[in-house]
Structure 1
Amino acid sequence: MEDLPRYQPCYILRDNRIPCVMWCEDAIAHYGVPTVVFSLYLLVPNINQAAEALVQSGWHLEDTQMRPTWTPGIGPPPLPSKEPPPGPTTTILLPASEWNYTFPETSHQNLIPSLPALLDGLIDKLLDDPLTESDFFNHLAMLILYLYDYSPDAKRRSFAEELKYDHRQFHYDRSSGMSSGLPFFRHERKIRDALRNGTYQLCDCSADRNDEELFTAKVEARLRALNPSPFSADVYETEKNEDEEGEGEDTENSDNN
C-alpha cells in the first residue's frame, strides 16, 4: 500500500504493535469500488489502547466516541514520508469484536482486510442491525452492495465458499438476482439465524422467484411502463426524429422561397 499521510494512524499503531485494518470506504476502494473517502475507519482489538497510542503521537480525542484526530501545533507525528502533516481527517476507531473480525496470527500485518473477511464483517454487522431506514443501515448496505457491483471476485458464485457458512446463502441469494432493499436484508437475517440454529440448508435461492417483494424487477418494469421517463431512449429517438423531420421541412421551404 502506498505511504500516504492519510494512513499515518495505521503506521503509528503498527509501530506500537497494535493490529489494525482499514474499514468502510478505504477498504472497499481497495477492491475496485470507485468511492470517495471520508473519515478513516480502523478496526482495532482495543480502542482505548489504540487511542492512547495516537494521542501520544499528536492526535487528540475529538469526542467521547474515540475519534482521534490530528491537532496542528503540537508537533507532527512520525511520517512515513517527507510530505506535510495530514489535514483534519478524522480517524474513527472501531472494536474488531463488534464486527466479528479476527486478526490473522501472522508477523506480517496487512492493513487491508481480505475481501471475504471484509464482507463477512459488514454482512454480520448489518444483519445484527434493527434493519430500519437509518443512516447506519444505509451506509452499511451501500458498502456491501458496492462490493457486489464492482468487485469481480464478489460476482463469482463460487466466492460463497470463501465466506463464513452463515453468510453463504446471502451470497447465493444476491447472485440469484434478489433486490437489495429492506425486505431482502430482513429475509437474509432470518436465513442466517436459521443456518446458525441448524434448521436450514443451503440452496441455490432461498425464496420463490415470483415473490415480488424480493424480486422487484417485474414490478419496476410495470411502473416504468405506466410512467415512462421523459428522458428514456425511446422518447429521445422519437424527439430526435421529429427534430430532423422539422429541419428537413424548413430547408425545403427555404429552397422553394
Structure 2
Amino acid sequence: MATEHVTRFQPCYLLRDSNIPCVIWGEDAVGYYGVPTVVFSFYILVPDIDQAAEVLIQRGWHLEDSAQTKFGNIPLRSAHHHLTPPIDVTQNEPAWSPGMGPPPPPSKKPPGPTTTILLPASEWNFTFPSIIESFFPPLPELLDALIDKLLDGPLTDGIWNQLTVLIAYLYGYVPALKEKSFAEHLKYEHRQYHYDALSGMTTGTVPFILHEREIRDALREGRFQLCDCSADQEDESLFTAKVQARLLALNGPPFSAEEYEAEKKRELEYERSCFD
C-alpha cells in the first residue's frame, strides 16, 4: 500500500523536491481520514498552478488542459491544470488474448501515477501553514476549507454539490466530527456550522447553505452568538426528515450512496480505459 501511494502521489514528491508547497485534495484527502470513497483523478492544491505545472512538465508530464476535467462527477470550469503522467514504455505490452496461451499471472506492480489536477489553493480557501508536515491537510484545516468554499461559492456550477458530499462523508465516517468539542479546532466562524450539522439539521441543501452563509456572516460581524442549533427545529426547510418521510412514502427510495459510488466506479473505469 505504501508503494502504491508513492506512485499515485508522485507529483507531490516532485513538487516538494522543487520547494513548492502542496496538499492532497478531494477524495484522496477525505479517504485519508477513513472515508471509504472511490478516488478519481488526483487533486493537489498549490500556491501557483502555473509554476507547479512547469515543474511536472519538466519531469515528463503532459499538460492537457483541453481535456475534460471534473471535480468528482462535476465538470470543473474554474482555474486548474490537467496533467497526465509520463508514458511508461514498459506498460505498452500487448493485451492478453486466448490465442496467446495461458493468461499471465496478475501483475504485482503497483499502479503508476494517474491524471493529476492542480488547483490554486487560494481559490479553494486553503492557507498553507508555515511548516508543512504532511501531504495531507490536517482535519480541521480540511473541514474549514471545504466549509468556506461551500459557503463562498456560487450555487450554479454544481461544485457546491460535490463539496457537500465530501463534507457529509467526513461527518458520516470520522468519529472526531461526531463530537461537539471538535468545534474548538475550527475557525470561529465555522463553529456554528459544526453545531448545526450535529443538531439534526439537514445539510447539503440549498436552504441549509443559504442559512449557514447568513450565520457565518453574522458571526464575522459579531451579530450572532454560538448555540446548539441556529434554527427552529420545526422549520421543515432545514429539518427535512418529516418531508423526506412523506416523499419516500409517495415515491420510493432516492438515489442511494451505493448507487453514487457505483457511478463513480464506472466513470473511473472509463477514464482509465481512455488513458490506457
Q: Distance in 2 between matches of 1:10 and 1:228?
A: 46
Q: Distance in 2 between matches of 1:90 and 1:229?
A: 38
The one-character-per-residue Cα deviations of 1:177-205 (angstroms, maximum 9, x if unpaired) are 00121111111011111111221111111
Residue 83 of structure 1: how far off its partner (Å): 5.2
**What SS class does the counterpart of residue 43 from structure 1 fall into?**
strand
Instruction: Report the equivalent of 1:2.
Output: 2
Instruction: Report the equivalent of 2:82.
Output: 67
TM-score of the superposition, structure 2-length normalised?
0.74
Q: Distance in 1 between matches of 2:117 and 2:17?
A: 18
Q: Distance in 2 between matches of 1:39 and 1:212?
A: 37
Q: Distance in 2 between matches of 1:71 and 1:229?
A: 48
1:93 aligns with 2:118: yes
Q: Which letter does structure 1 place at the counterpart of 2:2?
A: E
Check whether the contact 1:33–1:151 (CA below 8 A) recurs between aligned residues: yes
Q: Which letter does structure 2 place at the counterpart of 1:2?
A: A
The one-character-per-residue Cα deviations of 1:199-245 (angstroms, maximum 9, x if unpaired) are 11111110001101100112223344x53859xxxxxxxxxxxxxxx
**What SS class does the counterpart of residue 209 from structure 1 fall into?**
coil
The one-character-per-residue Cα deviations of 1:44-68 (angstroms, maximum 9, x if unpaired) are 1111111111111110111164112
Structure 2 residue runs without a partner (length 5+): 67-79, 92-107, 254-276
Higher relative contact order (CA 8 A, sep 6+): 2
Q: Which letter does structure 2 place at the counterpart of 1:122?
A: L
Q: Which letter does structure 1 place at the counterpart of 2:85?
A: W
1:105 aligns with 2:120: no
Instruction: Report the equivalent of 2:230.
Output: 206
Of 227, 250, 254 in structure 2, the residue corresponding to residue 227 of structure 1 is: 250
Give me the CA root mean square deviation. 2.4
Q: Distance in 2 between matches of 1:151 and 1:85?
A: 27
Q: Which letter does structure 2 place at the counterpart of 1:214?
A: L
Q: Distance in 2 between matches of 1:16 and 1:8?
A: 13
Residue 166 of structure 1: how far off its partner (Å): 1.0
Instruction: Report the equivalent of 1:135.
Output: 158
**What SS class does the counterpart of residue 144 from structure 1 fall into?**
helix
Structure 1 residue runs without a partner (length 5+): 77-81, 231-257
Q: Distance in 2 between matches of 1:40 and 1:96?
A: 15
Counterparts in 2 of 1:163 and 1:194: CA distance versus 1, 3 Å: same
- After superposition, where does 1:175-186 map in structure 2 within 5 Å? 175-180=198-203, 181-186=205-210
Q: Which letter does structure 2 place at the counterpart of 1:68?
A: L
Q: Distance in 2 between matches of 1:175 and 1:221?
A: 20
Give the paired residue count.
221
Q: Which letter does structure 2 place at the counterpart of 1:104?
A: P
Counterparts in 2 of 1:74 and 1:199: CA distance versus 1, 3 Å: farther
**What SS class does the counterpart of residue 67 from structure 1 fall into?**
strand
Task: Mark the structure with the bigger radius of gyration.
Answer: 1
1:153 aligns with 2:176: yes
Check whether the contact 2:125–2:146 (CA below 8 A) recurs between aligned residues: no
Check whether the contact 2:3–2:110 (CA below 8 A) recurs between aligned residues: no
Instruction: Report the equivalent of 1:49.
Output: 51
Counterparts in 2 of 1:15 and 1:75: CA distance versus 1, 3 Å: farther
Q: Distance in 1 between matches of 2:235 and 2:142?
A: 30
Check whether the contact 1:100–1:121 (CA below 8 A) recurs between aligned residues: yes
Q: Distance in 2 between matches of 1:52 and 1:169?
A: 41
Over the matched positions of the two proteins, sequence identity in percent amounts to 62
Check whether the contact 1:20–1:42 (CA below 8 A) recurs between aligned residues: yes
Counterparts in 2 of 1:210 and 1:59: CA distance versus 1, 3 Å: same
Check whether the contact 1:100–1:124 (CA below 8 A) recurs between aligned residues: yes
Of 15, 27, 30 in structure 1, the residue corresponding to residue 29 of structure 2 is: 27
Q: Which letter does structure 2 place at the counterpart of 1:143?
A: L
Instruction: Report the equivalent of 1:37.
Output: 39
